[in-house]
Amino acid sequence: MITSLLLSTLLSTLLSAPAGATASSPSPKNNKLIILDAGHGGHDRGASQDGVFESEIALKITKLVGQKLEDAGHRVLYTRTKDEWLSLEKRAHIANRARGDLFVSIHLNSSEDPRAKGKEFYFQNQVPVDEEALFLANRENAGSENQADSEHSSHVAKHEKASEADNDNSSATGADRTQLSGLRQAEAARTPEITYEDPRVRRDLKNILEDLDRSARVRASSELAVALFEEWKIADPAVRSSSRAIRQAPFFLVSHVAMPSVLVEVGFLSHKREGEKLTQAPYQERLARAISEGIRKNMAENSGKKSDDRAALP
């Protein structure tokens, strides 16, 4: 195990390196790849109501969204274009292999409470904020090849372990910090050139960069969720600004794709009026327009920002 001192020196060296691939590699800002994922499919039909299935409507809306984005000149990749079952792992693999820039998964909601209605925009989180979110997370996580719960627990455990380590590092007192700063200079003087040949150093550094990468991704995902919600408020003035539409939940997909991602629940099939509307082409069209516009505005907002958030690993 290398010391936190050495790690921080390594990290600051790496992050201040002017020639890093992170900042200087050409990023196809105007030609981003958007991954669209229609939830469920095949034997997994998702929510259903009176013979109407989530998997079918989600696919229709997803294709409409993709068509609008393609018409506007954007690159789109679908995880599925027909009624077939894909595991959540497979969907994440498709998105990661293609190195997508944004990931949007489209689903329809359902509830035992017939009054439940409205849209929800979920982005990545390790711990569910409430029991309802946990329930949904389990439902939408049902397509995993493995037990979603155990996958999630191990992921959480891994991350918590990393957080503990971070806290240990940041618990130094003022005096300690002064001493550390002196030590750091001495250390830097002794080791003017740092190499990454030690596999332990490389591994620890990789873990730190992955944590930084994850924080950036969560932030970008929340911005995408906000953009989608804002666009829907324009499309439907009846939506209240105070609506708790933007949520965090440990859905497998939004946690496992290496790009900003949001899972959209476009409405409740179980709500009498909303469920009916969801089956109608004009409403599907309206939904698709709002989602594609939200994606486009989010991309436009980010086009002026610093290049790719994904950190380059040594």
80 is a contact residue toward Zn ion (CB under 5 A): no
DSSP 305: S
Q: Position 72: which residue type?
A: A
Residue 99 Cβ, how far from Zn ion at the closest point, in Å?
Answer: 25
SS3 144: coil
Give residues with Cβ within 8 angstroms of 264, minimum separation 6. 104, 105, 106, 107, 119, 120, 121, 122, 228, 291
Nearer to Zn ion, 39 or 128 (CB): 39
Instruction: For Zn ion, give the closer residue by CB, 22 or 144.
Output: 144
CB contact set of 132 (below 8 Å; sequence gap of 6+): none
Are the CB atoms for 127 and 156 separated by under 8 Å? yes
**Distance between CA atoms of residues 212 and 289, nearest Å:** 33
Indicate the residue among 45 and 289 with the shorter CB distance to Zn ion.
45
Choice between 55 and 221, CB closer to Zn ion: 55
C-beta of 293: minimal distance to Zn ion in Å?
23
Tokens describing residue 190: 């002794």
Interacting residue with Zn ion among 32, 41, 46, 231 (CB under 5 A): 46
What is the C-alpha separation between 225 and 229, in angstroms, rounded?
A: 6
Q: Which is nearer to Zn ion, 122 or 232 (CB)?
A: 122
β-pair type (102-109, 120-124): unpaired
Question: Which region, judged by CB under 5 A, interacts with Zn ion, from 34-42, 70-78, 98-106, 215-223?
Answer: 34-42
Q: What is the spatial distance between Cα 85 and Cα 40, in angstroms, rounded to a whole number?
A: 7
How near is the Cβ of 126 to Zn ion at its closest, in Å?
21
Report the nearest approach of Zn ion to the CB of residue 47 (Å).
6
What is the nearest approach in angstroms of Zn ion to the Cβ of residue 265?
7
**Which of the ranges 75-83, 86-94, 138-146, 216-224 carries the binding residues for Zn ion, by CB under 5 A?**
138-146
Site membership for Zn ion, residue 107 (CB under 5 A): yes
Q: Which residue is nearest to Zn ion (CB)?
A: 107
Query: Is 266 in contact with 106 (CB distance < 8 Å)?
Result: yes
Interface with Zn ion, residue 39, by CB under 5 A: yes
Q: Applying CB under 5 A, which residues contact Zn ion?
A: 39, 46, 107, 140
